[in-house]
Amino acid sequence: MRVYHSEAHALHAPAFEVFEGGEKIPSFEKPERVAQILAALRAAGHFEILPPEDFGLEPIRAVHDPGYLAFLETAFAEWKRLSVAEETPPLLPATFPPAGLRGRIPAGLLGRAGYYMMDLSAPITAGTWQAALSSAHCALSGAKFISSTHPLQESASPLHPLSAFALCRPPGHHAGRAWGGGYCYINNAAVAAHWLTRFGRVAVLDVDYHAGNGTQDIFYERADVLTLSIHADPDDEYPYFSGYPEETGAGAGLGYHHNFVLPAGAEDRLYLETLERALERLVAYQPAFLVVSAGMDIYSEDPLGKIRVSTAGIAAIGRRIAALRLPTLIVMEGGYATDALGRNVMAFLEAFL
Ligand code: SP5
Ligand code: ZN
């Protein structure tokens, strides 16, 4: 199986995030996550680890707001110019627009940071933009590879549906069209899914513990990308402000988004039953491609999650999705039980080999 990975991920290594209670803690989303996954993939042997191709900015601009992208690209340099400290700290806003007060975009940097970021878990450091860009290019590289089975592509040889794993870091599914947050800056899965729509209908299935609010935002009014997310109840869990079952799309996209909410403590059996409900929607849509936002924070021992899926359960989820026999791009999202991350990713990927 092809794996797309860039060493540039390590350029993004924020020293802290701000947790509940305002506690400054070491960021759960750290470079060691990728090291653990790579070690497991290398030990397993049957993975071809490749650097991403440079797709430039065009396919990213296709799903993100240009002002937001310009902010991400230039914010740290501007922050550094303003900073008097010897070592410039990460850029992190502390003031956010209240509901209904997203009027003019403030000219000053901190105002723009509050405008574009939804929380205190996505600080912008010197290497954030480059890492986020390389992460999106991993997803695009995987998308390009799995699309090579499509009849519109010259190299079509549709014996087996192709699959690829984009080892994206930073993750992406909490990044909306014009905002970031939740460790996410560029929505890698959304960038890849949009890129694939040139060849046909695309389904995005988000199995990360947290609702894929960014992906929901990006495709909410579109019928050419079906978005499905299975996650913890946003009444009690991040990202709080979307991910509810009654949110089913709008305009042309009405009926093309579905949220599946699980209670705290949900185990393998309930997860897999819920997955069946989501897959009914997916199969009925008859997509040409599948993009999976693969967060491993559904794992029972995850420090952020309260869903209790076992490693065997994660393998069963992978088997069920692989049984769809669709060209599938698996995009890394969350997962913070770092020691178990390698074997959980392996468990998920096994059925796609
Ligand atoms: C990509 C991804 O998984 N992002 C998740 C960001 C979650 N940030 C908010 C964390 C809130 C944790 N609340 C649970 C407390 C456990 N003691
Ligand atoms: Zn998550």
Q: Tell me, letter by letter, the H, E, C secondary structure of the chain.
A: CEEECCHHHHHCCCCCEECHHHCEECCCCCCHHHHHHHHHHHHHCCCEEECCCCCCCHHHHCCCCHHHHHHHHHHHHHHHHHCCCCCCCCECCCCCCCCCCCCCCCCCHHHHHHHHECCCCCCECCCHHHHHHHHHHHHHHHHHHHHHHCCCCCCCCCCCCCEEEECCCCCCCCCECCEEECCECCCHHHHHHHHHCCCCCEEEEECCCCCCHHHHHHHCCCCCEEEEEEEECCCCCCCCCCCCCCCCCCHHHCCCEEEEEECCCCEHHHHHHHHHHHHHHHHHHCCCEEEEEECCCCECCCCCCCCEECHHHHHHHHHHHHCCCCCEEEEECCCCCHHHHHHHHHHHHHHHC
Report, in angstroms and rounded to the nearest whole number, the Rg of the chain calculated over CA atoms: 19
**Is 333 a pocket residue for ligand 1 (Cβ < 6 Å)?**
yes
| Centroid of ligand 2 to alpha carbon of 293 (angstroms) | 10
| Centroid of ligand 1 to alpha carbon of 213 (angstroms) | 13
Within 13 Å of residue 5, how many CA atoms lie on the same side as its CB? 21
Taking the chain (353 residues) in runs of 10, the rounded mean pLDDT of each run is: 98 95 95 98 96 98 98 98 93 94 94 97 98 98 90 56 97 98 98 98 98 98 98 98 98 98 98 98 98 98 98 98 98 98 98 96
Largest CA distance in the chain: 60
**Is 174 a pocket residue for ligand 1 (Cβ < 6 Å)?**
yes
**Is 6 a pocket residue for ligand 1 (Cβ < 6 Å)?**
no
**Is 165 a pocket residue for ligand 1 (Cβ < 6 Å)?**
no
Closest CA to ligand 1's atom 4: 182
Residue 182 φ/ψ, nearest 5 degrees:
60, 40
Q: Which atom of ligand 1 lies nearest, measured to the CA of 17? A: 8
Q: Which atom of ligand 1 lies nearest, measured to the CA of 182? A: 6
**Is 183 a pocket residue for ligand 1 (Cβ < 6 Å)?**
yes
| The pLDDT of residue 102 | 87
Bridge partners (DSSP) of residue 203 are: 226, 290
**Is 210 a pocket residue for ligand 1 (Cβ < 6 Å)?**
yes
Task: Starting from the CA of residue 232, give the closest ligand.
Answer: 2
Closest CA to ligand 1's atom 3: 334
**Which residues are known catalytic residues?**
174
| Centroid of ligand 1 to alpha carbon of 31 (angstroms) | 17
Query: Is the Cβ–Cβ distance between 307 and 232 less than 8 Å?
Result: yes
Q: Would you say the pTM of this structure is higher than 0.85?
A: yes
**Is 295 a pocket residue for ligand 1 (Cβ < 6 Å)?**
yes
| The pLDDT of residue 159 | 58
Query: Is the Cβ–Cβ distance between 172 and 208 less than 8 Å?
Result: no
**Is 181 a pocket residue for ligand 1 (Cβ < 6 Å)?**
no
Pairing of strands 24-25, 17-18: antiparallel
Residue indicated by tokens 């796609």: 352
**Is 145 a pocket residue for ligand 1 (Cβ < 6 Å)?**
no
Task: Starting from the CA of residue 187, give the closest ligand.
Answer: 1
Cα distance between residue 139 and residue 287, in whole Å: 18
Residue indicated by tokens 């729509």: 197
Closest CA to ligand 1's atom 8: 182
| The pLDDT of residue 160 | 72
| Centroid of ligand 1 to alpha carbon of 292 (angstroms) | 20
Q: Which atom of ligand 1 lies nearest, measured to the CA of 210? A: 3
For a pocket test of ligand 1, which of 238, 292, 333, 336 has the largest count of ligand atoms closer than 8 A to its C-beta?
238
Closest CA to ligand 1's atom 6: 182
For the chain, the distance separating the N- and C-terminal CA atoms, rounded to the nearest angstrom, is 6
Query: Is the Cβ–Cβ distance between 9 and 34 less than 8 Å?
Result: yes
| The pLDDT of residue 151 | 59
| The pLDDT of residue 63 | 98
Cα distance between residue 272 and residue 320, in whole Å: 9
| The pLDDT of residue 319 | 98
Query: Is the Cβ–Cβ distance between 317 and 279 less than 8 Å?
Result: no
| The pLDDT of residue 103 | 87
Query: Is the Cβ–Cβ distance between 341 and 334 less than 8 Å?
Result: no
